Amino acid sequence: MDVISVIRTKRDKGELSPEQIDWVIDAYTRGEVADEQMSALAMAILLNGMNRDEIARWTAAMIASGERMDFSSLSRPTADKHSTGGVGDKITLPLAPLVAACGAAVPQLSGRGLGHTGGTLDKLESIPGWRALLSNEEMLHVLDTTGAVICAAGDGLAPADKKLYALRDVTGTVEAIPLIASSIMSKKIAEGTGSLVLDVKVGTGAFMKNIEDARELASTMVALGTDSGVKTVALLTDMSTPLGLTAGNALEVRESVEVLAGGGPADVVELTIALAREMLDAAGVKDADPAKALADGSAMDVWRRMIAAQGGDPDATLPVAREQHVVTAPSSGVLTRLDAYDIGIAAWRLGAGRARKEDPVQAGAGVELHAKPGDTVTAGQPLLTLHTDTPEKFDYALKSLEGAWDIAAAGTAFTPNPIVLDRIA
């Protein structure tokens, strides 16, 4: 085997053989295949796709690159959730403790930001002292004692994906459906969860811009999970507008705590409860009411224990960016569009995301929304507040917001998209 032949096969729209796939994943994990060579292969996959057999074999090779975890010692069933990424998508933060408060164990392996979408680990690391990196023993202990854990995949879990995940972020290959499906499912299958709910985002702020592509991705992942013995279901959810009123790291943690306290934006609460119900059903937990667990404080109790168990201080003051810039509404009327992608790019440019895989992120950077589509606005009122530690980034972020919203005449009727667009099982 040689990597040039593998790249040429996919470049020329051929089907990779099982032997080619096994070899290139193993060789890349060992460092025999260089980043620039895997970048070329990833771009060829993005442009020319993979069939179901190739995706299944690629996923199996990613799993085989490392270890598999086992949660059979736990006293309660396991349920995990994965989002394909969106703007303002902080759902994992209130969701994991909520499902745990209802009786399932949630081993939530999460990632960092990809492109314009935020990363759960980046958000949680804005909490002073909180650790994303846990050993397998630490992860199992936190899960057993609190009911939920949110952490990074260990070095031994699908190490091929860990390398490729970071590479995709900086080579323009994030959107490749085969690579998204295999990345997500290799980690989730190797993780050992008994059931999995997938939140597949659809819209301008998602990697899947149209519902047909989202259905293809969801169906591919549901099939991969089901064939591996993991009960898997997917919800297609709207990402044309940012979720909630914040996009950024500490900003989204603060909003998540508001949800756990019984408040928070209605769309975040609605999606959190919808996903919680799917997770509990998949895990076989009956007669639990997620809405009640939010209202009575039991989900907040799990959150506090979970954060403390990973070294974080749930009472600590969250970082705040040193500089703010307010963007005002240019006219009066009804806000009918606020583009999720443009908001995500602005947050990324302000420092909430990274351009290179080794770049740090700013904990306080991001965008705060003061209105959502359907709201009536007045000319001159605050529409957005930009947050960053580096004010020279404001002009760059503002360029991404040109054309990011539409304001119609006062009294214009507006019907929002439903949060949940479809369900695939």
pLDDT attached to residue 32: 96
Place domain 323-408 in its CATH homologous superfamily: Pyrimidine nucleoside phosphorylase-like, C-terminal domain (3.90.1170.30)
Kindly report, residue by residue over 134-157, the tens digit of the pLDDT.
998 999 999 999 999 999 988 788
Catalytic residue among 183, 186, 195, 240: 183
Three-state DSSP class for 187?
Answer: helix
Residue 349 a catalytic site member: no
Cα torsion angle, 79, 138, 83, 24, sign:
negative
Kindly report, residue by residue over 62-113, the tens digit of the pLDDT.
999 999 898 989 999 999 999 988 999 999 999 999 999 999 999 998 888 8
What would the mean pLDDT of 161-186 be, rounded to a whole number? 88
What would the mean pLDDT of 284-312 be, rounded to a whole number? 96
Which residue has better confidence, 86 or 118? 86
Q: Judge whether residue 357 has pLDDT over 80.
A: no
Residue 187 a catalytic site member: yes
Give the CATH number of domain 80-155+168-309.
3.40.1030.10
Read off φ and ψ for residue 266, nearest 5 degrees.
-65, -35
What would the mean pLDDT of 236-257 be, rounded to a whole number? 98
Q: Judge whether residue 114 has pLDDT over 80.
A: no
CATH fold of 3-49, please?
A: 1.20.970
Q: Judge whether residue 379 has pLDDT over 90.
A: yes
What would the mean pLDDT of 323-331 be, rounded to a whole number? 98
Q: Judge whether residue 162 has pLDDT over 90.
A: no
Domain residue spans of the chain: 3-49, 80-155+168-309, 323-408
Residue 370 a catalytic site member: no
Q: Can you count the helices (H) and strands (E) in the chain?
A: 16, 13
Catalytic residue among 161, 169, 267, 342: 161
Catalytic residue among 90, 116, 162, 187: 187
pLDDT attached to residue 424: 97
Residue 315 a catalytic site member: no
Sorted by sequence, the CB contacts under 8 Å of residue 343 that are 6+ apart come out as 87, 88, 205, 242, 247, 367, 369, 384, 401, 404
Return d(Cα 114, Cα 87) in angstroms, integer: 11
Catalytic residue among 10, 57, 81, 82: 82
pTM, 2 dp: 0.90
Closest by CA to 184, choosing from 153, 215, 209, is: 153
Residue 183 a catalytic site member: yes
Catalytic residue among 168, 231, 304, 354: 168
Q: Judge whether residue 198 has pLDDT over 80.
A: yes
Contact between 196 and 67 under an 8 Å Cβ cutoff? The reply is no
Kindly report, residue by residue over 4-33, the tens digit of the pLDDT.
999 999 999 999 999 999 999 999 999 999
pLDDT attached to residue 174: 83
CA distances, 352 to each of 25, 316, 397 (Å)? 31, 20, 11
What would the mean pLDDT of 120-139 be, rounded to a whole number? 95
